Amino acid sequence: MKYDDQCAPPPKITGKDTTLSSSARTISSVRTTNTESGKKSHKSRFVNIFGKSKSSKRDKHEDGLSARSLYSPGKSESAYSGSVFSENVSIVSSVTASNALRVLIVGGSVSGIYLTKYLERKCGSGVKITILEQNENILLKFGAFAAAMDPTLAPHLIIGNKNMFKYSHNEVIKSTATSITPEYVETQDGKTIYYDVLVIASGSRYSSPCEIVGKGSVETKENLKTYFKYLQTSKSLVIIGGGASGIELALRVVKENLLNKITLIHDESMILNEEYPESYRNKIQKKLENEGIELILNDKAKIESGKNYGYPIKGRWLETESGKMVFSDMQVDCTGPVGNSEFVKSLNNDLMKVVDEERGFIRVNRYLQIIGQTKIFAIGDCNNICGIKTIDRAKSQAETVSETIHHWQVQFAEGKSYLEENPQVWTIDSNEAYMSIKNNELDEVRKASSTNHRLLNEAISKKAPPEITTRKADNIKQIYKVIGVEFKNRSAF
């Protein structure tokens, strides 16, 4: 930004009204008084983290064993891989492994983890699972704001992904995909990995602190400590975006009695969006206003999408589209994620764009196949299905694709053409999801004459949107359970 100087005085703007609208709220005197006492209450936590150095134990989740790779259309050698799904690893012979249906999963996201579990349960050693993931650890991003308030929680959000399998022929390859074709994936280190079924579970990118930083867990933990330090010592915060994550952050800061001034900027007339009932939106908005949070509504911050605005932390002037100028010591971009899909753009052609240009999400049909593709799927946060992206949705999409692959694996084992078996239809969970899939399929039918979809079923399985909460213990427990690790710190979340 052009006003990117903490020491600079407020810019002089002529011909524009820079006064906040009447809907904006200022911090009450009671709130200011409570802030000081609140900060003192966190002194012991601050000293424990940044004061005396303490010896740290090695993260028990970071250990893992190497496993076999599959870099050619033909057979590959077998090796062993550790497991957290079972104490007894099932050793698969090289003959069985070479005859298995090759399933390549790009991305070790939550949806990728669930898919792995479902496939091993349904297909056993009949599938050869390869996960392509650049990070050695999984960050449970939905718990990042909790760790920013108390970084001693961070180790519980970072889980190693190497020991993920029950069957010894499955593996994790540490690399990134650079391009994909209907037959193979090319990686950053120059390898070519062939597949029979490809599933994109690459997730999406969030702004800091909800991201893996640097090369892994050490840098990420230090980054969360940095946010904690600034939250304890800064006087003002701007939250950009009044969706679920923005509201959660605001509620957490209020709960911890941090900062003297909190400003939230949202591009609608009410916080959240139409996916939530109006009564619930009103309830949360009044709560924020009563806490003295300044709301700037029907306005947008002038920031570039997907550029991790606010990192590294420093004082900045922020301009809105209406011309308002807001200064803060900290800023957190909560405008939403951007899909990890650069490598998928190699599937684009003149007739069909498979990646949404604005936010980078991958367009899929009712079967969760990438439009125009038969044996390539995209599940979880990386696809463009609208609606609230929850763990339950990632789980249901993983289960749907696992059913399809299971049926295909049975046909494959019998020597039949598995791709002729009808794929499983995902149960649509909201009106927003229905509309996005419908629009994707209209393009698919119009531009790929070989596609012949039936009418999309409008019988939507409607679910009430989850309430915004600062408690993440149940969600974390779900992920721990699926990877077979005991969650021992439940009360802290």
Q: How far is CA 462 from the centre of its chain?
A: 23
Domain 94-206+338-448+468-483 is in which class? alpha beta
Residues of the chain with pLDDT under 50: 1-11, 13-40, 53-69, 74-84, 86
Calpha distance 193→186 (Å, rounded): 6
Q: Encoding tokens for residue 440?
A: 């994707």
pLDDT at res. 159: 84
In contact, 485 and 389? CB cutoff 8 Å: no
Instruction: Kindly tell me the burial class for residue 145, based on how many C-beta atoms sit within 10 Å of its own C-beta (0-12, 13-18, 19 or more).
Output: buried
pLDDT at res. 149: 95
pTM: 0.82
pLDDT over 90, % of the chain:
63
In contact, 79 and 68? CB cutoff 8 Å: yes
Calpha distance 434→84 (Å, rounded): 37
pLDDT at res. 306: 77
Query: Hey, what amino acid is at 50?
Result: F
Residue with tokens 């703007």: 13
> Using one digit for the tens of pLDDT, what is the confidence trace for 328-346?
999 999 999 999 999 999 9
Calpha distance 211→333 (Å, rounded): 12
pLDDT at res. 59: 41
**Closest Cα partner for 366 from 452, 424, 421, 432?**
424
Return the bridge partners of 197, or none: 103
CATH H-level superfamily of 229-333: FAD/NAD(P)-binding domain (3.50.50.60)
> Using one digit for the tens of pLDDT, what is the confidence trace for 188-231?
999 999 999 999 999 999 999 998 887 678 999 999 999 999 99
pLDDT at res. 446: 67
Domain ranges of the chain: 94-206+338-448+468-483, 229-333
Q: At residue 252, what are phi and psi to the nearest 5 degrees?
A: -65, -45
- Pairing mode, if any, of strands 294-296 and 236-240? unpaired
